[in-house]
């Protein structure tokens, strides 16, 4: 024992002497100043990867993706590309792997780049820079980003309370929502309550509502082709709850090509939408989300007015829809949720020389249960049942089932309200 103690003391003394001599020999390193540390942070962004996979099963005869493309009033009209609504298939699916890089660029900007990697390839979902020091409550953003209109459009898929997006969003704007290249300017009003105004100008390249076709009979509309405006108000803020209201609207250029009876009709004109949203959140203060509740709803109305380019007349149409949903923390780490939605309460279209057609409405009900072991992972179970109006083919009922696993690796910032 004495031998071991003596050896340990000798080794410790040797290491201390070596450390002291190394300190004397090493050159002094000046402390980092603010500009140096900021530069180092800019080369060391927060990096994360979010994996979203699920098991899916639905029981329709033709497949729900095809049914949604044939829904009366909402179906496609012969665009150059075929757009599928969700692309789910029975069995196991990998939605995508979401890679995110974010950092404060300097004292004036913060930036984010988000890449969605799927089995079919990679796509830049977002790549933007946003100001951090403009005066008078102003903030500007430029790049490719999700429009901040409404409530759910700006959310990535892993932030949704249900495994799929509301029908009115999917049928009107496609599976990616309104995500485009452009600029945004917002103003936080100096009022006692939260009041935020926003305006956005986009190139106008949405897969559903703002399409530019390639045809010699259609004009080449230069961008930007889409303008969006919104306002968000939180009139009541209590100790444990908050209510937020919103209004929004957008208008932009849109084109369609119809193949009818051996003839090709080319249409060019304007598509616009407007709506409102409301969100209420209650924080119980209990551990792991037990007793927390959220209720949200959105109404969306769209209208198009397109002129026939190779003839006289116009193509007009109007559709709307809404959803209302709620979630509640039934136990620590466990949530349950219900969602009800309808589309086509207004559902009409009129082609040149034809009488106005009025179509029926469709509905869907959903129930979900999810478990969150931590803030980095989630398992969700969900059932959907809906009636879908297919026009002349009648109304078809379909069931859907999801078992979803989502987990994140690396830095993952807090979600917005």
CA-to-CA separations, 140 to 35, 115, 123, 125, 227, in angstroms, rounded? 23, 22, 24, 19, 15
Instruction: Kindly calculate the radius of gyration of the chain based on its CA atoms and give it in whole angstroms.
Output: 27
Residue 133: pLDDT above 70?
yes
In a domain, 415, yes or no: no
Place of tokens 């009041």: 195
Residue pair 225/255 in contact (Cβ under 8 Å)? The answer is: no
Q: What is the pLDDT of residues 8-31, one digit of tens each?
A: 444 444 434 434 443 444 444 344
Mean pLDDT of 236-243: 87
**Distance of CA 21 to CAs 10, 26, 181, 208, Å?**
17, 9, 58, 71
Q: What pLDDT, on a 0 to 100 scale, did the predictor assign at position 416?
A: 58
Q: What is the CATH classification number for the domain harbouring 196?
A: 2.40.160.10
Q: How confident is the model at residue 160 (pLDDT cuts 50, 70, 90)?
A: very high
pLDDT above 60 for 363: yes
pTM metric for this prediction: 0.85
Give the 3-state secondary structure percentages of the chain, helix then strand then coil, rounded to 5. 15, 55, 35
Please tell me the predicted confidence (pLDDT) of residue 56.
95
- So what's the pLDDT on residue 61? 78
Cα torsion for 150, 151, 155, 161, to the nearest 10°?
-140
Dihedrals φ, ψ of 202, to 5°?
A: -120, 160
Is 3 inside any structural domain? Answer: no
Of the pLDDT bands very low, low, confident and very high (cuts 50, 70, 90), residue 388 is very high
Closest CA to 347 of 304, 378, 287, 298: 304
What range does the domain containing 183 cover?
Answer: 48-410
406, part of any domain:
yes
Residue 371, CA distances (Å) to 166, 259, 290, 406, 409 in order: 22, 49, 12, 11, 18
| Number of domains into which the chain is organized | 1
| Domain-located, residue 223 | yes
Is the distance from CB of 48 to CB of 411 less than 8 angstroms?
A: yes
Query: Which pLDDT does position 284 carry in this prediction?
Result: 95
How much is the pLDDT for 27?
42
pLDDT averaged over the chain?
86
The answer to whether position 37 is within a domain reads no
The arithmetic mean of pLDDT across residues 223-234, rounded, is 97
Q: Does residue 274 have a pLDDT over 60?
A: yes
Return the pLDDT at 43.
55
- Which pair of tokens denotes residue 144? 């490719």
Whether 238 and 193 have beta carbons less than 8 Å apart is answered as no
142 domain-assigned: yes
Q: What percent of the chain has pLDDT over 90?
A: 68
21 assigned to some structural domain: no
Q: What is the pLDDT of residues 39-96, one digit of tens each?
A: 445 457 889 999 999 999 998 878 888 888 889 888 754 444 444 434 688 999 998 8
Sort 136 into a burial class: Cβ within 10 Å, 0-12 / 13-18 / 19+. Answer: exposed
- The answer to whether residue 3 scores a pLDDT higher than 70 is no
> Is residue 350 assigned to a domain?
yes
Residue range 280-321, pLDDT digits in tens? 999 999 999 999 999 999 999 999 999 999 888 999 999 999
Residue 145 has pLDDT above 90, yes or no: yes
User: How large is the average pLDDT for residues 346-357?
Assistant: 91
């Amino acid at each position: 024992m004495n031998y071991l103690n003596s050896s340990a003391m000798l080794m410790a003394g040797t290491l201390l002497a070596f450390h002291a001599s190394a300190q004397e020999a090493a050159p002094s390193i000046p402390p980092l100043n603010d500009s140096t540390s900021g530069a180092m942070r800019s080369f060391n962004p927060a990096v994360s990867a979010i994996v979203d996979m699920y098991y899916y099963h639905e029981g329709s005869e033709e497949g729900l993706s095809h049914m949604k493309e044939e829904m009366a009033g909402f179906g496609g009209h012969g665009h150059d590309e075929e757009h599928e609504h969700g692309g789910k298939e029975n069995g196991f699916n990998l939605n995508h792997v979401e890679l995110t890089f974010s950092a404060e660029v300097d004292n004036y900007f913060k930036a984010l780049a988000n890449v969605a990697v799927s089995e079919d390839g990679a796509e830049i979902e977002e790549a933007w820079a946003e100001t951090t020091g403009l005066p008078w409550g102003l903030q500007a953003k430029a790049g490719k980003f999700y429009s901040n209109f409404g409530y759910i459009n700006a959310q990535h898929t892993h932030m949704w309370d249900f495994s799929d997006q509301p029908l009115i969003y999917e049928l009107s704007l496609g599976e990616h929502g309104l995500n485009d290249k452009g600029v945004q300017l917002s103003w936080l009003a100096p009022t006692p309550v939260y009041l935020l105004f926003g305006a956005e100008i986009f190139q106008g390249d949405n897969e559903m509502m703002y399409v530019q076709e390639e045809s010699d009979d259609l004009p080449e509309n230069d961008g930007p082709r889409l303008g969006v405006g919104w306002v968000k108000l939180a009139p009541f803020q209590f100790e444990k709850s908050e209510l937020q209201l919103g209004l929004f609207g957008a208008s932009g250029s849109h084109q369609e090509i119809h193949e009818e009876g051996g003839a090709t009709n080319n249409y060019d004109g304007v598509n616009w939408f407007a709506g409102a949203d409301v969100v209420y959140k209650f924080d119980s203060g209990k551990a792991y989300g037990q007793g927390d509740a959220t209720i949200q709803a959105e109404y969306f109305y769209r209208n198009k007015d397109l002129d026939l380019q190779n003839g006289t007349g116009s193509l007009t149409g109007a559709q709307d829809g809404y959803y209302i949903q709620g979630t509640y923390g039934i136990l620590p780490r466990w949530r349950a949720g219900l969602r009800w939605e309808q589309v086509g309460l207004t559902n009409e279209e009129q082609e040149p020389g034809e009488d106005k057609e009025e179509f029926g409405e469709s509905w869907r009900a959903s129930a979900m249960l999810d478990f969150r072991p931590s803030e980095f992972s989630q398992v969700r179970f969900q059932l959907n049942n809906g009636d879908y109006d297919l026009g002349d083919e009648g109304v078809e009922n379909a069931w859907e089932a999801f078992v979803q696993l989502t987990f994140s690796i690396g830095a993952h910032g807090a979600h917005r309200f």
